[in-house]
Structure 1
Amino acid sequence: MPHSGTANIMRIVCISDTHSMHRQIEVPEGDLLIHAGDCLGVGTLDELEDLDLWFAELPHRNKILIAGNHDWCFQDETAEARELVRHAHYLQDSPVELEGLKFWGSPWTPTFFNWAFNLERGDALAERWAQIPEDTDVLITHGPPAGILDKIISPTGIVRPGCDDLAERVARLTLKLHIFGHIHEGYGQEQIGDCLHVNASTCNDRFQPLNPPIVIDL
C-alpha cells in the first residue's frame, strides 16, 4: 500500500541519475516520487517508454520527472517524448501544485562537452533560474548549485562544477526542499537555513545504481 500520509505531511521519495537502470532500484513507498533527471541511458524514446511503464507499476499516487543531460529525446524529439510520459508530471521550466505544495522543475546544467540541456554559465542560465517563482516550495533541478553537494575529487584536486547562478537564485528563495543529481559523487543531504538540499543520484561515480533513494517527510 502507498504511504497514507497526513493532512500536513507528504512523504517524498527522491531518485536521480538512474540511467535506464530503474528496474534495479528498490523504491520505498511514499506519496510522491521525484526523479531529478538522467533517467535514460542513451536518451531514446524506447528507454523512456520503459521508464513510464515502470512508473505505472509503482504505488506512489504522484510522480514528477525532469530531464537531464543524458535525456536527449526530451530535447530532440520533444513532442513525442512528452506524449510518452503518461504516469508522471513532466516539468521543464514549469510548475505543478500537489496537495498544497508548489513544485518547479528545470533540466538545465552548465555546458560540459556537448550534452543535452546545456547552457553557458552566466546570462543564459541566470535567465532560466529567474523563471523560478518566488513562492516555490520544492525546486527540482538536474544539477546542483555551486558549493552544495557538488564536490568531485579529481587527480588534480577538488572540483565543484555546480552552477553559481543557481546558487545565487536559490539563496534568494524561501524553499523548503531542493532536489537534484547530476554529480554522482555528491549524493547525500545538506541543510542550509530552512532549505534541505538533496543530491539524489542513484548511480555512483562508477555508474552503478547503488545509492538508495532518499526519503523526506515534508
Structure 2
Amino acid sequence: MAAPPKPQGTIKTRILIISDTHSAPLQASTEAASDGDNARAFQSPLPAADVLLHCGDLTMMGHLDEYRGALDMISAVNAPLKLVIAGNHDISLDGQFYHGNSKGVGMSNGKRMHKYDFDEDMPDQAMEMWKGELANKAGVTYLEEGLHEFELGNGARLKIYSSPYQPEFCNWAFAYDHHEDRFNPPNLPPTPLPPNSKPYKNIAVTPVPELPAARSIDVFMTHGPPLRRLDRTATGLDVGCPHLLRAAERARPRLYCFGHIHEGWGAERVCWGGEEKDGVVKEVEKVQVDDAEAVKNHAALADVSAEGGSPLKAGEETLMVNASIMDLGYSPSHAPWLVELDLPKA
C-alpha cells in the first residue's frame, strides 16, 4: 500500500526526548548488556535528531557539579538544537523557592536542602551556567516558562510552549497549589477538578493564549504530566494536572512531552473531543515498544509522520510522551524517545 501523501508545507523532523535523568551519565555502549535485567537503552551514542528536548529534573538536588555533569551528557548528543527546562529537583534554578522560607523549619529551602553546601548565590550561578558560556558550548538553550519559536536546521518551524512547574509535591521547587490554574485564561469556566479538590482558583501567571483554529503551537513541553495521561503512580493514583490537560486540549499540539512521574514512562496517541471522564479526550492508543529494539537502537521509536504510514492528524491528535529515564528506584532503566513527525516549514 502506498504511503499517505505528505502534508503540504511540512518537513519530517526527528525529535529526541529525555527527562528525569537526575545526574545520570550516558552508559558506554560497550558496557551495556545486550539482554537480561541489566539491559539499558540510555547509552551512548543516542540517536541523532533535529532537536533534543529535556523535560527537567536534570539533577538530584541542583548542585553546580550536577549541572556540569548534565551539560556534559547533553553536549554529547548529536542534535543542532537542544532545548532544556528545569524540574522540581533542580532547586537552585528556582530562585524564589531557594530563598523562600521552608515550611515549619525556620530556614530557607536552599539551606534546608543543601545544608553545608548552601550558597546564597547558588541560583545566580546556576542560571549563568544554563544561559552562559557553558550552555552555549554544549549547544543548549534553556527555556523559561512561556512561548518560544525556532527555525530548525532542516527548514522546519518549531513553536513550543514550555513550563517547569507542576502541582505541589513534597515541598520541592517549581510548584503550585493543586487548585491553582496558571495555564488557562481567567475568562474560561473553571476547569473540572477531581473529587475532594480545593476550590478552583485561577492565577494565570503566564497563561497559554487563546489560539487560532489552525492550532499554531507545535509542542508542549512541561515537567509534570496532564491529568490521566501517563501520570499514574505505583500506588495507583493519577497525579497529573487537570489545568494542563485543558490547556493541551485548547492548543492541541502535535507533541506533548513531560516526565516527573517515573513509572509513567511511555507514549500514547490522544484523539481530542471526547465526553468521557475529563470531557476532552475521545480516544487513546498506546504506542507499543519492543524493549530489545529500544536497547539496540538506544531509543524507543514513535513514527507519526506521513512517511511512517500513520500520520498524526494535526489539530485533532496529540502524541503524548513521558520520557522519564529513571525508574521508580532512580535507576536509568527507561529508553529515550525518538519521535518522527511532520512540522510546518519555517
Give me the whole-angstrom Cα distance separating, in 2, the residues matched to 1:203 and 1:132: 33
For 2:58, which of 9, 28, 39 is the aligned residue? 39
Query: In structure 1, what is the equivalent of residue 150 of structure 2?
Result: 97
Give me the whole-angstrom Cα distance separating, in 1, the residues matched to 2:247 and 2:54: 22
> Secondary structure, in 3 states, of the residue corresponding to 2:11?
coil
Is the CA contact (8 Å cut-off) linking 2:145 and 2:164 kept in structure 1? yes
Give me the whole-angstrom Cα distance separating, in 2, the residues matched to 1:93 and 1:214: 23
> Secondary structure, in 3 states, of the residue corresponding to 1:41?
coil
> Secondary structure, in 3 states, of the residue corresponding to 1:113?
coil
Bigger CA radius of gyration:
2
Q: Does 1:115 align with 2:172?
A: yes
User: In structure 2, what residue type is equivalent to 1:147?
Assistant: R
How far did 1:78 drift?
Answer: 4.0
Is the CA contact (8 Å cut-off) linking 1:18 and 1:38 kept in structure 2? yes
Identity of aligned residues (%): 34
For 1:19, which of 22, 37, 43 is the aligned residue? 22
User: In structure 2, what residue type is equivalent to 1:91?
Assistant: L
Is the CA contact (8 Å cut-off) linking 1:129 and 1:166 kept in structure 2? no
> Secondary structure, in 3 states, of the residue corresponding to 2:257?
strand
Query: In structure 2, what is the equivalent of residue 202 of structure 1?
Result: 325
Query: In structure 2, what is the equivalent of residue 186 of structure 1?
Result: 264
Give me the whole-angstrom Cα distance separating, in 2, the residues matched to 1:132 and 1:142: 20
Deviation per CA, 1:134-158: give whole Å up to 9, x if none. 332101000100010011231xxx2
- Residues 132, 109 of structure 1: alpha-carbon distance in 2 compared, 3 angstrom cutoff: farther
How far did 1:202 drift?
Answer: 0.4
State how 1:117-156 maps to structure 2 within 5 Å: 117-126=174-183, 127-128=204-205, 130-131=207-208, 134=211, 135-154=216-235
Where structure 2 has 5 or more consecutive residues not aligned to the other structure, the ranges are 1-9, 28-41, 96-121, 184-203, 272-316, 342-346
Which structure 1 residue ranges, 4+ long, deviate > 4 Å from structure 2? none
Give me the whole-angstrom Cα distance separating, in 2, the residues matched to 1:199 and 1:128: 25
For 1:75, which of 91, 94, 97 is the aligned residue? 94
| Greater shift in the superposed pair: 202-211 or 117-126 | 117-126
Is the CA contact (8 Å cut-off) linking 1:67 and 1:142 kept in structure 2? yes
Query: In structure 2, what is the equivalent of residue 215 of structure 1?
Result: 338
Query: In structure 2, what is the equivalent of residue 167 of structure 1?
Result: 245
Give me the whole-angstrom Cα distance separating, in 1, the residues matched to 2:226 and 2:87: 15
TM-score (ref. length: structure 2): 0.57
> Secondary structure, in 3 states, of the residue corresponding to 1:101?
strand
Where structure 1 has 5 or more consecutive residues not aligned to the other structure, the ranges are 1-6
User: In structure 2, what residue type is equivalent to 1:62?
Assistant: L
Alignment RMSD (CA, Å): 1.8
Is the CA contact (8 Å cut-off) linking 2:25 and 2:69 kept in structure 1? no
Give me the whole-angstrom Cα distance separating, in 1, the residues matched to 2:244 and 2:123: 24
For 1:177, which of 239, 255, 266 is the aligned residue? 255
How far did 1:128 drift?
Answer: 4.6
